[in-house]
Each structure stands twice: as structure tokens, then as C-alpha cells.
Chains A and B, each alone.
Chain A
């Protein structure tokens, strides 16, 4: 349990911008505390690079407590690295051994172009959300009392579990088809399970799927890799629910 230090070799993807070609670079890093998070290890590498007057590695991160969804990284061939149910910022160096070589790459997906090094552009997710990921209710504070409609606990819990998605994109990065069905399924499910969201469920499913297709995400072939790598344990059931909602919507919609 006590922290020790390890020496590692890093193979990291370096790419100047979206128009240039990238390549893997090798770095050695010594005295990494096993109590450090993976990103603190990268901080340590960057400090070393800066002291050598070399360009530090760019990577996305912000909250560092596994909830903002900004960190990404494909580590040793797995989205968010070898631990399960965790984001890269919550991955700790105790998962690695002295002498390990660790491969670090950005998310790879046609819909997520590389911005620089390990940073990718995930604004496609925002645009899907803008296409229908909401309840069309204006701010008034005069809606109705929050307890006016009782919601079965089971439905509320399921909606919450779907809503726990942090929009990190691990599902897309890990999917061989680059599909965003888990992300979209989670949002569609959250609202479909609540009476407040039910009103627009039909149109929402159609609009979000249309945008998803336009952004160039692939289709779902039920391999289930997304569920395995999702740091928040979003269930495949949400994809099934999306399919049901979409099918229903396609049948009843007159658009």
C-alpha cells in the first residue's frame, strides 16, 4: 500500500496540429511515485521537458476528479488505461510496474480530429446535444411544483444512471466503428424515462440520431466494447432503448 517510486519508458503520440503528420516519441521518466495519478506523471514529464527546453506534451484535463470528462488518452491500447470504471485522471501509477513501457495515444476517431498531440476535438458531441438533448422548457421558475408529478424511484434511478455520462468519448474511441450510440443512447434514455422528457421523446430521438450520422460517427454492431471501457458504467441497455425510441419515432413521425 505504501507509495514507492518506479522508472518508466513512455511512447507518446506527438502531432503539431490537425494538418500535420504525427509520430510516436520515446521518453524515459524516473522516480514516479506510485501514489501519483497518470496525469500527475505527465505533469512530471512536462516539467522535465520544460527544464530541457523541449516542448511539453499537450493533453486535455481539468477537474482531475473523474467528472468533467475532459481527460481522454488511449493508454496501452485501452481508453482511459488498464483500470476499469475510471477516467485517466483517476488512474494511478500503482497500476504500473517498474520498467514498464507505456503507450499513450489520443482518441482515434474520424469524428474527433486531433488538435495537437493528445488533444482532440469533441465538439461533435456538443452539436448532437444541441440537436435535441434537452427538454424544451424556458426559465420561468413558474413551471409546477417539483413534487407535482411523482416519479417511480426505479425510473428516476435509471434516468440518473444514464445521465451520469460525462461525455468523454471513450465509447467512440474504443468502438471499432467509431459509434456514438452509447453517448446518444444515454441522453435519449435519461429523458425518455422521465415524464418531463417523454413529451418530446419522438422528435428528440430522430433529431439526435440525424445529427450523430451527420457528424460521421459509425453504426453500432453490438460488440459492447463501449460499455466495458465507459468510466461511468453506462449500460448497453441505453442503446437498446435508443433503438426502440428511434424505431417508434420513425414509425409515427410524419416528417
Chain B
């Protein structure tokens, strides 16, 4: 049987977390200063954890590769954060958030984890307001909400299109306070390159000072990874340029199982690709689907005319447009979950109805003209004008849009040189978030004792598809309200351990491993840049492990990555030296791990002979092209065990998913 013990407590779903918390072991305040904790990553999950643990009195060391903890990529989250506050009186509750999240994840997430997440969601909003996070408010002074995909209530709190920024700056301010008080020591421009295990337990890390190149040994009684997702395996994604899998991959290589790597979220509304020198894709928040209607021309000829510049989208008559989401999914319309919206966009573009003039003609419209009229009219009425002119309506409607989404519209205009107030936005799906990650139990502990993993870096809460505005919720839930309890339970047995020495053979070996990898890259003297290989990997992944997957393509991907890996080590050229700031070296170390991970993703996608959420196997779809799950054979978490340099030897372990409180059903958004 499985080596995986999820440690889900018994009891009714709504009492589990409270009962469990009440029986966890504690570390008394006088003992906490004897305990060291390392937190890697300073996004929402990392900053909130480091701040909370510092407040409790533990000695915390926090690490980030950026020049400041405030730069972590949580900052770029746009639309909002979910919480079951039911301020809008539209039928929301903890249960409903729990249910929506399980269903949104296509019944591939753990019930107990998701319920806990829904429970603590309300505390997050209270905490953030107390910290001075300036959420959007209504005229009465109370908090405003909006809707997100996969829900029929308004439970999303937001700060214009910069919610991630405001929440991260809130967590960063809490972290800064602890740094100022001396309870957290911050290491900027440091990258974790190895985990150190002593007697099977996580006892420290090897970190590289990115400015001096020095390898540093840091010991601790527990190590927390909050290092984000691995979307950059596709080269082009909405992730930051530095986002990487290295920390997670290092713990995987040291024994932590890696779960569901094939679950990737391709976000439906991103700015389409413009050319071969492009390095990054930009998201246009899902919140825009509150106000925008998605369409392509009904006729292929019209799409061709638009691409050729002979026809403007604004000139195409209403009856010539196909609002395909509203047509196919009337109950949820433009607010279907992300995986559903992305596949539908691919489908219409595959039919030749894409509107973007680029290599692939892939793009659809996100049109705000209806909303401009609706909101303009409402605004005129609210101002006492019950007979507004057409111009007045449009003027007020645009003003309303600017207030809600101004920064997004401006960003779109800067990138595309088109004005989205006048002509519909062009959008297309892009890699955005990774639901898979390091396997953790209910305590957020990996299969390495003492190594905890939070936020996007773990796998636990979103199943096969994450709902919009739930990533911010999970990051802060883990860091503020879950980890501080569960890690203390683990650390209660460490109060007599004493300081962990860094001159042990374990640290020595770990440091030498890192050193030899660095030396190898710098002396390789190949002919091609790191980016050359990264782009090649990205293309394999996007074409064969992307939105549509099949057995043949996946097998090809596995073989091609084998070849790519050989080429990479034989022919990569990394300029510069180790004793200075060397971004190319940093990249080489990250791409090495992304190559391994990419292969594992293809293997995971190949073994999962069903379609669920973001994982769409073309062989498994129903007559209408919807995902076809196989609950009898695949209702499990697939967790992989590292077996050496040849990734193809990794062993799959299964954690069965039991649904005791939600009736498992086909996902239906129609």
C-alpha cells in the first residue's frame, strides 16, 4: 500500500480543523527562542509565515532571490481574493466556498484541506484590513466585492486590479516589522540550492549569495518552502522571469514526493504572443470577465478579414459574432472556470476563427462595449439624469471601467498600442499557475520530516484546476493561519535539540554538491546560451504537454526532453565567474531543474488516462468535447518518488481521494 499518510483527522468536516488544532502540541513562549526556522520565498505564503513565526518568538531566517522581499511574484496577482464573508447577502457560506473549490478542482483535491481553507478565509480579510490593506469600498464605507469564475456569488475582495500587490505589501509590512524588531533575519539576493538532511530530518539549506557567489550554510530545526510554482517550464508564461522550481526540486531529489505535476492552469485571458523574441506573457485579470464578453466571428471569412486588417471588430454586426461561452454555458456564461474558458478559446481558434495576426492566428476578443452602456446608464441614473444622451452614457461607462480596471486597461494599451476602451481587447490563454507541487500532508509537511511546503509550491488545495482569486487565499491561509499551528506541533519535540551545527559531514556534502554543479556549468564551455535550451524546452512543453495532450505526443515529449537534457549538459555556455553577480549562472541552475521537471510532467500526464480540470487528454472527452473523468481508476493524487538522475525511473505512489461530504459528480457549468 501507499507510503503516503495524509494525516487527515477524523470527525465531521466542519469540526475537523478546530478539533485538530485543539489537540496539537504547543511550544511554550520561553522555548520558542531556542528554535530556528528557515523560510524560503517571500511571496504571500512565505512573508505571512515568516512574519507570524517571528511574532510567536521563533528565530526566523527568511530568504528571497530578489533584491527585496516585496518583489515576490504574488505582487502581480490582479483580480482579487476569495472569502466566505457573505457581505453581499447572495447565499455565500463556508460550505459553498468549500463546494465551489472542490467542484472547480474537478474533484481532485482533498476535502479536509479545502474545507479548512474556506474556514480561515474570513479571518484573512479581517487580518488584512487590520494591517491597513486598502481594499475597494462602496460609498457607504463597507467593503466591495466582485465575482470570479466558477461561482455564482460575489465573494471576491479586491483593490482595483492590484489585489496581489496590496496583500503582499501587507504581508511585507508585517515581515518588515519583525525584521525591524530583530525577530526575522532577512537574506535578500540569496537563492536556496540544496536542502540539508541530518538523520532523515530537514536541518538546513545551502544558499548562494547572488552578489558575491559565496555558498552559505544555514541550519534550522525546520525548513519552510514557499517558493511558488513552476509555470516557467513553458518558457513563456505569466510568471516572473525569476520564478523557478529549483528549491522544490532539490527537496524532491532529497526524498520529498512531487504530486500531480501535470496539473497546470492555462489562464484564458492573457495578451497573445507577439513574436519570437518575446520573453514573457502578461495576464489580463479574470475579473475583466465580470464586464467583458468573449467572442470571435461566426464566419471564418470574417476572422480572415479581421486578421488581414480589412475589417475592424467594431464593424462586425452583433448577429455575426459568436459569444461562444454564453452560447455553450448559459448558467455561468463568461464566468466559467479557467480551464473551461481556455479550452473553448483553443477550440474556436482551431476552427480557424482566431482573430490575432501572428504566427498561429490565436486570439479571441474580450469586449467591453455592452458593459460601457449598462454601467453608463446606471451611473447617469444614480446621478439623477434619467434621460441621458448616448454620448453621456458612453462617457460615464468608460469612467466606471477606468475606476474598476484602470491599471489593467493602461497595461494593455502600453503593451499592444491599442485602446481597449474603443476596440475590444485581444486575448488568448497562457500558462499561469501550477496546481501540482511538493506533496504535503494535512500539516503541510512533505515526506521529509521538518520540511514544510506552503502556497503554490505545494499541491494540496486546488485539485486539477484552481478557481480565480483562490491562490491569494491559499497563500495567506497557509502562512498566517495553518502553518504556525502545524509547525509548532512538530517543533514541540525539538525544544531539547539545541543549535544545529553547520560543520557536520551532511552540510559539507551538500555544499560540495552545489559547488560541483556550479563548477561544471562554468567550465563547460559549450556554444549555446541557457535561453536557447529553455526556449526549446518551452516549445516541447507547450505543444505536447499543453492545453491538449495525447499519449503519442506525451511519449514524444519524454523522448525529446531526454535528448534536450543531454544536449544541455554537453553544449550549454555559461559566461562569467562564480564570485560575482551572474544572472546567466542563476538561470542555468534553474533550467537544469526545469528540464527534469518537464519530463516528469509528461510522465504524469501520460499515466493519467482521463481528463480532469486543466489536464485534458484528447482521448478522453465526451461528445461535446468536455473533460471525461475516470473516477473509478484515477481518483487519486499521483505522487512521484525520485530514483536518480534518469527521471524516467521515478516511481508513482497513489493517495486515494475520499469524498465523504461532497457527492462526486460530473462538473457542469451549463
Contact = CB atoms under 8 A, between A and B. Distances in A.
A194 B241 contact: no
Contacts of B135: 146, 156
B583 A130 contact: no
Contacts of A63: 71, 73, 75-76, 240-241
A98 interface: no
Interface of A: 1-3, 16-17, 33, 35-37, 39-40, 43-44, 47, 50-51, 53-56, 58, 60-70, 83, 85-86, 90-92, 94, 115-116, 119, 121-123, 125-126, 129-147, 150-153, 156-157, 159-160, 163-164, 166-167, 190-191, 194, 196-197
B401 to A, nearest CB: 16
22 contacts: A37-B415, A40-B278, A62-B73, A64-B282, A66-B414, A67-B75, A115-B211, A119-B581, A129-B176, A130-B180, A134-B131, A135-B130, A139-B481, A139-B484, A141-B124, A141-B480, A142-B126, A147-B87, A147-B142, A150-B141, A159-B134, A167-B70
Given A62-B241, A64-B241, A36 B125 contact: no
A172 to B, nearest CB: 14
Interface string B61-74: 00000111111110
B625 interface: no
Nearest to A89: B280
Given A125-B68, A135-B130, A47 B529 contact: yes
Nearest to B49: A139
Contact of B120 (A129, A141, A153, A167): A141
A140 B407 CA distance: 32
Interface in B75-103: 75-76, 85, 87
A64 B48 contact: no
Given A156-B137, A164-B162, A70 B529 contact: no
Contact of A35 (B177, B275, B573, B584): B275
A131 to B, nearest CB: 6
Contacts of A131: 180
A160 B410 contact: no
B162 A67 contact: yes
B505 interface: no
A39 B481 CA distance: 39
A79 B481 CA distance: 41
B176 A50 contact: no
Contacts of B357: 2
Given A3-B275, A143-B127, A151-B141, A133 B415 contact: no
B345 interface: no
Nearest to A66: B411
B169 interface: yes
Contacts of B639: none
Interface string B275-319: 101111011000000000000000000000000010000000000
Nearest to A90: B414
Contact of B188 (A43, A126, A144): A126
A50 B580 contact: no
A98 to B, nearest CB: 17
A126 B76 CA distance: 19
Contacts of B242: 62
B488 interface: no
Most buried by B among A54, A68, A131, A137: A68
A135 to B, nearest CB: 5
A36 B274 CA distance: 8
Most buried by A among B73, B142, B238, B279: B279
B174 interface: yes
A141 B76 contact: no
Interface string B186-219: 1010000000000000000000000100000000
Given A68-B75, A156-B136, A163-B166, A40 B277 contact: yes
Given A67-B76, A153-B139, 11 more contacts: A1-B418, A33-B274, A53-B573, A67-B162, A92-B414, A126-B68, A130-B176, A137-B130, A150-B141, A156-B137, A196-B129
Contacts of B418: 1
B165 interface: yes
Nearest to A158: B134
B140 to A, nearest CB: 6
A142 to B, nearest CB: 7
B285 to A, nearest CB: 11
B283 A142 contact: no
B562 interface: no
A58 B581 contact: yes
B160 interface: yes
B143 interface: yes
A138 B162 contact: no
Contact of B177 (A43, A136, A151, A160): A136
A153 B186 CA distance: 36
Contacts of A92: 414-415, 417
A115 B581 contact: yes
Given A33-B274, A153-B137, A116 B580 contact: yes
Nearest to B164: A67
A116 B132 CA distance: 36
B55 interface: yes
Contacts of A152: 141
A56 B69 CA distance: 26
Given A36-B277, A144-B126, A156-B136, A138 B70 contact: no
B492 interface: no
B76 A68 contact: yes
B411 A43 contact: no
Given A50-B575, A126-B68, A191 B581 contact: no
A61 B180 CA distance: 26
Contact of B134 (A60, A132, A190): A190
Contact of A123 (B188, B414, B581): B188
B3 to A, nearest CB: 34
Contacts of A3: 274-275
Contacts of B142: 147, 150
A99 B242 CA distance: 32
Given A47-B531, A62-B73, A92-B415, A123 B68 contact: yes
